[in-house]
């Protein structure tokens, strides 16, 4: 879908550029150069496109054919977000190869993972998102290994926006992360903590249980927004230092409590390791929050003030092609 939208946007921009003498150079420039990172900017772009449609309806003569074709593509001149939504079984396991391909593509695609930490819709099998110590199908004795850090894999690319959220724990941070992901001109991955009946909790307490997940450090909240600023700190840790033991949090979940009844010694050992996981994860994330990192990029020189008219024309004509090449679906 992203590739199709990018192709249509590029073609619409080419038609618009060809029709500039007919519809007006100023309107064409406004549309092609308009920023579309925020909702107000997108609303303003829709208004410009509405003005364009009115003008296109009056075009006759040599430009009539291009005008009719552009009329069918005007919506592609407005930035459109693409979201892929799936669960942890897909994102961490069986669909990870495809997810990783999307993240590595550099394309402006957003991915929302609803992480229940188990194969919720196929019977409750363990996935790579299942935490250490949890009991699930194929992990009847409690999962011995830790959970895959999907966010860390995505962050390693350097140009991927990554966030970990929990709506019940901090709705403001969740909304902020989703808005930033949508505005980010590149791939984004948002991992949302999702309670599930397979956890063995009273689902009416889902929101408060999510708060405890964050309060214990079981589910830290963060946003990683790549930056071209040399001294920027892209990793923002949005949750406070843990103040609740992991044992107190997991005690409310049957998937952990059942192991305490069937194998108390193993349960105690895995619980100790789970606390160590949380402590080390918090220490690591705290360090990341202070690390300066710049996204790999090419520094483009500012155009010369005395550039001749020919250079200006070439740059303007090439702009729609450049926008399609960088795969962002908008004018660069």
DSSP letters for 183-234: HSSS-EEEEEE---GGG-S-GGGHHHHHHHHHHTTSS--EEE-----TT---
Task: Give the H or E element holding residue 165.
Answer: strand 161-165
Taking residues 105-133, what's their average pLDDT? Answer: 94
| Residue 186 predicted with pLDDT over 60 | yes
Task: Give the H or E element holding residue 85.
Answer: strand 83-87
C-alpha 123/C-alpha 46 separation (Å) is 46
Q: pLDDT, tens digit, for every residue of 125-138?
A: 999 999 999 999 99
| Residue 301 predicted with pLDDT over 70 | no
pLDDT of residue 2: 85
Total residue count of the chain as it appears in this document? 332
C-alpha 121/C-alpha 7 separation (Å) is 36
| The model's pTM | 0.82
Q: pLDDT, tens digit, for every residue of 236-252?
A: 999 999 999 999 999 99
Beta strand 110-115 with 83-87 is parallel
pLDDT of residue 326: 35
């Amino acid at each position: 879908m992203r590739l199709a939208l990018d192709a249509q946007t590029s073609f619409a921009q080419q038609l618009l550029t060809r029709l500039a003498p007919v519809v007006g150079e100023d309107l064409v420039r406004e549309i092609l150069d308009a920023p579309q990172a925020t909702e107000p900017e997108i609303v303003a772009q829709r208004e410009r496109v509405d003005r364009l449609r009115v003008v296109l309806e009056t075009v006759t003569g040599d430009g009539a054919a291009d005008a009719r074709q552009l009329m069918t593509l005007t919506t592609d001149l407005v930035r459109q977000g693409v979201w892929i939504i799936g669960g942890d079984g897909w994102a961490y396991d069986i669909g990870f190869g495809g997810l990783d391909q999307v993240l590595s593509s550099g394309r402006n695609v957003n991915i929302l993972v609803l992480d229940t930490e188990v194969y919720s819709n196929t019977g409750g099998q363990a996935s790579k998102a299942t935490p250490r110590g949890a009991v699930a199908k194929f992990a009847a004795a409690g999962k011995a290994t830790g959970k895959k850090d999907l966010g860390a894999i995505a962050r390693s690319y350097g140009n991927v926006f990554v966030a970990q959220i929990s709506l019940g724990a901090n709705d403001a941070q969740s909304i902020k992360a989703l808005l930033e992901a949508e505005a980010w001109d590149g791939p984004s991955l948002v991992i949302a903590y999702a309670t599930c009946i397979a956890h063995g909790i009273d689902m009416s307490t889902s929101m408060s249980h999510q708060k405890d997940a964050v309060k214990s450090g079981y589910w830290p909240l963060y946003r990683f927004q790549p930056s071209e600023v040399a001294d920027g700190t892209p990793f923002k840790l949005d949750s406070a230092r843990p103040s609740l033991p992991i044992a107190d949090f997991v005690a409310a979940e049957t998937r952990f409590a059942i192991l305490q009844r069937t194998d108390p010694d193993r349960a105690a050992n895995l619980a100790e390791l789970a606390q160590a996981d949380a402590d080390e994860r918090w220490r690591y994330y705290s360090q990341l929050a202070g690390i300066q990192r710049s996204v790999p990029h090419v520094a483009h020189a500012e155009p010369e003030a005395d550039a001749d008219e020919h250079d200006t024309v070439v740059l303007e004509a090439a702009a729609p092609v450049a926008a399609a090449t960088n795969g962002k679906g908008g004018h660069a």
